[in-house]
Structure 1
C-alpha cells in the first residue's frame, strides 16, 4: 500500500503518493499529488487514508489485469466519497438530529439554513424524539449527474467524452448549486453561460486556483482579466448540458429541456481545429541535430512521432496509437493505416480513417526497418512506452513530452504543440498548389461532398497522394543516421 505524505503548502494541505517503480510507465509519473480540502489534523489524515486505499486498489487492478484506470478521477471520486458526519445536533426548536451526512458545501449551506429557520412552532408530534436523518439526494443534480455519467460509460462512450461531460456538469453544479433537477429553468442556464465565460483555462491544474470552489475560482478569475473561452468551447458546454437535460427528460426528472430557449454561440467559420503552422525558424530549432538527438535518443516514439507528423500531418493520438500491423505496403506503396482496428485506438471522425503513404525522407530514415524490428521483437504496438492508463488516448504523454521539448528549444507560445505539424503540412502543400481534396485524403479532413465518410484505401489516388507528399519541403535536414544508430 502506498504511504501518504502530507505536504503543508501556502496554497493548502496536500497528500503525495509515490508510484511503484513497475507502474510508472503505465501511470506516467513518479508521484501523485492531491489537495486535501481539510485543515491539518485527524480529519485530513483520515481523508489521506481513504485516498490511500483507493489508490492501492487501482494499482492492484493495473498489475493483475492490465486494466486501464483513470487515476485522477478515481482519487477525485474517493475524495468526494469522504463524507463529514454530524453525530448529533439539537435545533433551536428542540428537535434532535443524528447521523446527518454533509457531503458538499451546498449541503452545509442548506443545513445552516435549516437551523436558522427552525422555530419551536415548527415541531410536530414526536419531533423531539431523536431521529436519524440522511439527506436524500436522488433527485438532485449531484446524484443525477453521477448516474448520467455512469450511463455514458456503460454505453461505451469515449473516455474523453465522459471526462468532458463530467467537467461541464461540475461547473453547472458549482454555478447554480446542487439543486433538484425539477427546479432547473432557462434562467439557470443563462446564469451558467454568463459565469462560465469567465472560467480560466486549465483552472483545475493551476496553483492559484487550488482548493477553491467553482464560485471562488470565477470570482478570482474576474479580477485577473482571463481571456474568454472560444465560441467552440461554449458550444461544447451547450451540447453536453443539452445531452444531460434530454437524459433527465427521458428519465422523467424534467418536463422540458431548459436550454431550448437559449441561442447558441455563432460557429467559427474555420474548422474546429485551431492553431497555426510552425515557422521555418521553429522547425530549425526543433530539428537542430544535437538537441534533437539528445532528446529523441531516450525513446523511439520521440524520434518517429514528430517525423511522421511532419511528413503526414497526422494527429498525435493517431500516430501514438499505431500498431505494427498498421504498417503495410499496398500496390508497391508503403504506408500505415489510421483506423480503429486494435485495442485502445480511436478516431476523431469518420474521415479520419485513411491509409497514409510514407514520404521518401521517412523511408530514407529507415522507418520500415524500425517497424520490422518491432515486429521481430514481438511488439504489438509500434510505441509501447506510451501509456493509455486513463483511456483518453496514447497521445497524451507524447504531447506533454514534445511540449516540454519545445519550451527548451525556445518555442514558448501558448497552445503550440504537435498539432502545428498538421497545419505546417497542409499549409505548405496548399502553397504548392496541391488540390484540397488530396490534402484532405492525407490529413483526414472531412471531404466537401462526404466522399471521405467511408473508409477505403482508395488505391487509384495512392500515387496522387504520394506525389503530393513529394512536393512537401520542410526546409530542414534531419539527423537521421545518428539517431537511428542509437534506437
Structure 2
C-alpha cells in the first residue's frame, strides 16, 4: 500500500520534500503562476509537516490581505511576497539552531550533574573520614552514639534555592512563594517529629499527612497565622486553600525530592511525594464576563456620577478589557512604558525597574486600543509627565505586591464587583482578561482573530516553534493593532464610559441605593 503524504507536501525523485499550495484564481495573474512551490530542505515527513503548517498559515493570511487590496497595490505586494518566499531563510534552519541550543543546554546540565557528583564524592569522603574518626573515638571511650542518618532538610533546601536562583530559574516573586512553601513544610515536619527534620525522616506517610493538613489550612498562612501551630490553625475551620494551590505545593515538593535523588550530596532513595495530589475536577473555572455583567460593572455609581476616589478606579477596568493584560501588569506600569512604535501608541509590558512578570512570555508589546485613546489615555499620560510623575498609577502601593490594592478594591467581598451585583464565584478581575481573549477570537463575540495572533499580545505561548517564518512581527505594532482592534465591547457598555475630561478624582462616589423592599 503506497504511503500518502500530508496535504501540501510533494517529494521529488531524490527524496526531498516540497511545499505546494495553489494560488487563488483571482490572484494568479498577480503572481504570474498558478501555485507556490518551495523546497523544505528535508526528507523527514514529520519535520516537513510542521514546516508546511507554518507556511500554510502564513501564506493563507497573505492571500486574504492581497484580496482586499486594489489592483496596483496587490501586484506590488504579490511581488514582495514572492521575493520574501525565495530569499528568506527556511524554518528548517531555525529548527536546527534550536536543536543546537537545546543540545548545549543538555550539555550544560550534564556538566552540572558531574560537578555535583564530584562534590558528592568529596563530601562522602569527608563524612566517611569523620565517621571513621568518630567510631575510633567511640571505641576508645566505650560510647555507642551513632552517626546522624542523613543531611538536615534545611541544608538541602538552601542548596536547592541557591542553584535555582544562581541559574536564574526563578523570579523574585516565585522565590518568595517557594520559600513560603518550604517554611510551611519545615514547620509541619518539625511539629510532627519534635526536632529539626532530616531528609531520610521524610517518608510517604509524612507527605500524605501533609496533604491532609493542607486541605484544612486557609490561604495566605504567613499573612494571618504566622507562628501559630498548624494543627491549631486547621482546627479553626476556615475556608481552605484551593485544590490547585494544594497540588501546586505538592508538585513543587515532588520536584525538590527528585532533585535530591539526583544530587549525591543529598541522596535519597525515593521521592516520598511522587504523584501525590487531590482531584481538581470539582474546582470551578473562571469564565469571561457576559454582556449584562459588563454593563453592570460599568454602571456603578462611580461611572454614572463620573467621580472616582482614585484614578485607577476609572482606568483599570477599561484598560484590562482592551489590552487583556493581567492586573499586576497594569498596576505597575510606568509612564516610560507608554511608547510609540512605528507611529502606533503601545504599552510596553516588561520586567525593568523591579517590575515583576508571571513568566518570560509576559514581556510583550500591546498596541493601545482606539477606545482607550478616545477615553484620553494618552492625554492623561502627558498630564502625568508634565506633573513629574513616573508611574501611571502612583496612588497604588506596590510594597506588598503589584496587584494587592487593586485586587482588594475589586475582588473582596462587599467591594466593587459585589456592589455592582456581579457576584458569580466563577468571575473575578481575571475575567476581564478572559473577556478580551474570548471576544477577540470568537466571531459571535464580535472578533475573528486567529489565536496565534492573540497569543503574543496577551503573553501566551503560541504552541509553534516560530511565528515569523518570513516576517519578523514581534515588534510589528501595526499588525498587532489590527488584532487588538478586533475586540469590541457591547455598545450598551461602551456608551457608559465617560472621557477623562468629564471625570473627577479624589471624591468618593455616591453610595449604591438599595432596591426597594417589595
Give the TM-score range, shorter chain.
0.5 to 0.7
Q: Which of 417, 420, 431 is the matching residue for 1:406? A: 417
Q: Which of 446, 452, 462 is the matching residue for 1:437? A: 452
Gaps of 5+ in 1: 1-124, 126-135
Structure 1 residues 431 and 193: CA distance shift in structure 2, 3 A: same
Query: Any idea what the Cα deviations from partners look like across 1:128-149, whole Å, max 9, x if unmatched?
Result: xxxxxxxx9x964467657866
Matched position secondary structure for 1:322:
coil
Matched position secondary structure for 1:361:
helix
What is the distance in 1 between the residues matched to 2:255 and 2:163?
12
1:165 aligns with 2:183: no
Matched position secondary structure for 1:259:
coil
What is the distance in 2 between the residues matched to 1:284 and 1:435?
27
> RMSD between aligned alpha carbons?
4.0
Gaps of 5+ in 2: 1-140, 142-147, 191-195, 506-518
Q: Is the 8 A contact 1:245 1:254 kept in 2?
A: no
Structure 1 residues 253 and 274: CA distance shift in structure 2, 3 A: farther
Structure 1 residues 467 and 243: CA distance shift in structure 2, 3 A: same
What is the distance in 2 between the residues matched to 1:371 and 1:483?
13
**Corresponding residue number in structure 2 for 1:449:** 464
Q: Which of 304, 324, 327 is the matching residue for 2:315? A: 304
Structure 1 residues 289 and 381: CA distance shift in structure 2, 3 A: same
Note the C-alpha offset of 1:440.
1.9
- TM (norm. structure 2) is 0.56
1:473 aligns with 2:490: yes
- TM (norm. structure 1) is 0.59
1:461 aligns with 2:474: no
Query: Any idea what the Cα deviations from partners look like across 1:173-193, whole Å, max 9, x if unmatched?
Result: 343334223422233223322
**Corresponding residue number in structure 1 for 2:369:** 359
**Corresponding residue number in structure 2 for 1:196:** 214
Structure 1 residues 250 and 181: CA distance shift in structure 2, 3 A: same
Query: Any idea what the Cα deviations from partners look like across 1:450-485, whole Å, max 9, x if unmatched?
Result: 43799932346234314423x453641233237654
What is the distance in 1 between the residues matched to 2:152 and 2:175?
20
Structure 1 residues 299 and 228: CA distance shift in structure 2, 3 A: closer
Q: Which runs of structure 2 are paired with 1:267-416 in the superposition (5 Å)?
A: 274-288=285-299, 290-292=301-303, 297-340=308-351, 342-390=352-400, 392=401, 394-403=402-411, 404-414=415-425, 416=427
Structure 1 residues 436 and 273: CA distance shift in structure 2, 3 A: farther
What is the distance in 2 between the residues matched to 1:328 and 1:447?
25
Note the C-alpha offset of 1:268.
7.5
What is the distance in 2 between the residues matched to 1:185 and 1:155?
29
Between Structure 1 and Structure 2, how many residues are aligned?
342
Q: Which runs of structure 2 are paired with 1:108-127 in the superposition (5 Å)?
A: none
**Higher gyration radius (CA):** 2
What is the distance in 1 between the residues matched to 2:491 and 2:459?
20
Note the C-alpha offset of 1:308.
0.5
What is the distance in 1 between the residues matched to 2:338 and 2:357?
17
Note the C-alpha offset of 1:343.
1.0
Q: Which runs of structure 2 are paired with 1:55-74 in the superposition (5 Å)?
A: none
